Amino acid sequence: MAIIHVLDETTINKIAAGEVVERPASVIKELIENSIDAGSKSIDVEIAEGGIAYMRITDDGVGMTEEDARLAVLRHATSKIQAVEDLFDIASLGFRGEALASIASVSHFSLTTRKQDSDLGTRITIDGGSFTDCIPYGAAPGTTIEVRELFYNTPARRKFLKTDRTESSKIQDIVGKLALSNPHISFKLTVDDKVSIITPGNGTVTDTVTALYGYKTREDLFPIAYESESIVIDGVVSKPTLLKSTRGWQTIIVNNRVISDRTIAKAIDNAYHALLPKNGHPLVVLNIIVPAEMVDINVHPRKSEVKFSDDKIIFKAVYHGILNALDNPLHQRYERESS
Ligand code: ADP
Ligand code: MG
């Protein structure tokens, strides 16, 4: 008898979940990205106990038919690509087709969805990867996903979670960043019954920044608008005095994806280096558009990093873009007034 066997679907999903779903904030990120891809105008997130006990994401996007909803929760099932070539210049945030299957395999999961033009919706429930129910369901158009008791069946992973407070703050962080990268969508986050974030969804980055970080930040922001070697950057950068001890106020968006990237972080640090009155990280929201052939988006299961064909070009664009923005006349006026 062979000692090798192909793993069953539920086990495969649980293993994959280890990569895609690191913590509640990664669930929130995947689900919000799905809502964005679905063309939502408004996304409502509610969490309890750091998201570990409960998370719910409601959107007003296109919704799914029953047939699609049943497919959506299968592994490698996606409406977003057909072939790997589609990854080149892809417009959607998702493409791996594993988020829903992974999340549903490590939680008590429900998906309620209704197409904009149908009279009735569908509700699917899954427990630890096992399909439990699929029923017609009265619901508003759009999609709601509920996730309870994350990692209840993978105790090793659950043990690595931090306190509810830390997990909540990681969720606040990612919701804020996704709101900044989608200022035309209105986001609401409720943490343990208290409203924590509301963004206007009016398309303005500055208004989104002030909704997230307080109205006082507003007067310390400069627009950035830069173009060089086919890289285009817009967004806002702050006076060197508007600082935080972490990079929590720094949002890096590359081709509409919120990512973290060392080269870009270094370029920000270097641009501000001589200007900072003390140690810290200024507020920046950089929306960077890079030609598709210069960036590989499929390098990370959580899609939180990308790979550039040439880091130097990116570094230079960010560095000069920020210097340029800080050097604008408004900034010089501020320098004069404060000296
Ligand atoms: P991916 O986003 O990589 O395609 P997911 O597992 O996240 O994979 O989702 C699977 C599919 O389910 C998506 O391709 C999409 O067609 C559908 N879907 C998921 N979430 C939503 C949503 N909020 N609204 C509409 N369709 C959705
Ligand atoms: Mg997805």
Task: Please calculate the CA angle 305-310-316 and round it to the nearest 5 degrees.
Answer: 95
Q: How confident is the model at residue 333 (pLDDT cuts 50, 70, 90)?
A: very low
pLDDT for the residue 15:
86
Q: What share of the chain is helix, strand, coil (3-state, %, to 5)?
A: 40, 25, 35
Using CA atoms, how far residue 143 sits from 63, 77, 197, 205, 279, in Å, is 5, 17, 20, 26, 44
Pocket of ligand 1 (CB under 6 A): 30, 34-35, 38, 59, 61-64, 72, 77-80, 94-101, 143
Tell me, in angstroms, the distance from the centre of ligand 1 to residue 38's CA.
8
For residue 33, the ligand 1 atom closest to its alpha carbon is: 2
Average pLDDT over residues 61-69: 98
Q: How far is the CA of 164 from the centre of ligand 2 (A)?
A: 25
- Of the pLDDT bands very low, low, confident and very high (cuts 50, 70, 90), residue 314 is very high
Task: Kindly give the interhelix angle for 164-181 and 24-37, rounded to the nearest 10 degrees.
Answer: 20
> Which range has the worst mean pLDDT, 7-16, 190-199, 281-290?
7-16
Q: Average pLDDT of the chain?
A: 93
Which among 67, 92, 100, 114 is the best mutation to test ligand 1's pocket, defined by most ligand atoms within 8 Å of the CB? 100
Residue range 306-327: average pLDDT?
94
Say which range, 82-86, 99-103, 163-167, 188-192, has the weakest mean pLDDT. 82-86
Phi/psi at 329 (nearest 5 deg)? Answer: -55, -40
Provide the pLDDT for residue 14: 86
Give the C-alpha separation, 172 to 178, whole Å: 10
Q: Convert the pLDDT of each residue in 249-260 to its tens digit.
A: 999 999 999 999
User: How far apart are the C-alpha atoms of 274 and 319, rounded to whole Å?
Assistant: 13
The pLDDT value given to residue 310: 95
Q: Could you give the domains of the chain?
A: 9-198 (3.30.565.10), 215-338 (3.30.230.10)
Q: What is the pLDDT of residue 329?
A: 57
Reply yes or no on whether the pLDDT at 120 is more than 70: yes
Q: What is the mean pLDDT of residues 110-134?
A: 97
**Percent of the chain scored above 70 by pLDDT?**
96
Lowest mean pLDDT among 113-117, 120-124, 273-277: 273-277
Residue 334 predicted with pLDDT over 70: no
Check residue 332 and give its pLDDT. Answer: 53
Q: Which ligand number lies closest to the CA of residue 36? A: 1
How much is the average pLDDT of 4-32?
Answer: 91
ipTM given for this complex: 0.99
* Dist CA 268 CA 325 (whole Å): 12
